[in-house]
Amino acid sequence: SLALVILVHVTRNLESVYLEYVALVEETGDPEHARAAVESSALGRAPEPL
């Protein structure tokens, strides 16, 4: 049962990050910038300027 809870939370977190990435790609039109921004926010650092 604990494994199921962990699986649900991991799935939810992955979905959240993916949706954030898609929104940033739509905003900026630059997939590489969106990837860098999502990685930076996931790692808790400020995004690097491009």
Express each pLDDT in 3-34 by its tens digit: 999 999 999 999 999 999 999 999 999 999 99
Tokens in use for 13?
Answer: 């977190």
Task: Report the C-alpha gap between 33 and 15 in whole angstroms.
Answer: 19
DSSP state of 48: P
User: Which structural domain, as residue segments, surrounds residue 37?
Assistant: 17-44
Query: Does 48 have pLDDT greater than 90?
Result: no
Query: Does 50 have pLDDT greater than 90?
Result: no
Q: What is the pLDDT of residue 2?
A: 96
Task: Report the C-alpha gap between 15 and 48 in whole angstroms.
Answer: 24
* Tally of CB atoms within 10 A around 34: 19
Q: Has residue 4 been placed in a domain?
A: no
Q: Has residue 33 been placed in a domain?
A: yes
Task: Report the C-alpha gap between 27 and 45 in whole angstroms.
Answer: 21
Task: Report the C-alpha gap between 46 and 21 in whole angstroms.
Answer: 16
Q: Has residue 5 been placed in a domain?
A: no
Q: Has residue 36 been placed in a domain?
A: yes
Q: How many domains does the chain have?
A: 1
User: The whole model's pTM is what?
Assistant: 0.74
Q: Has residue 32 been placed in a domain?
A: yes
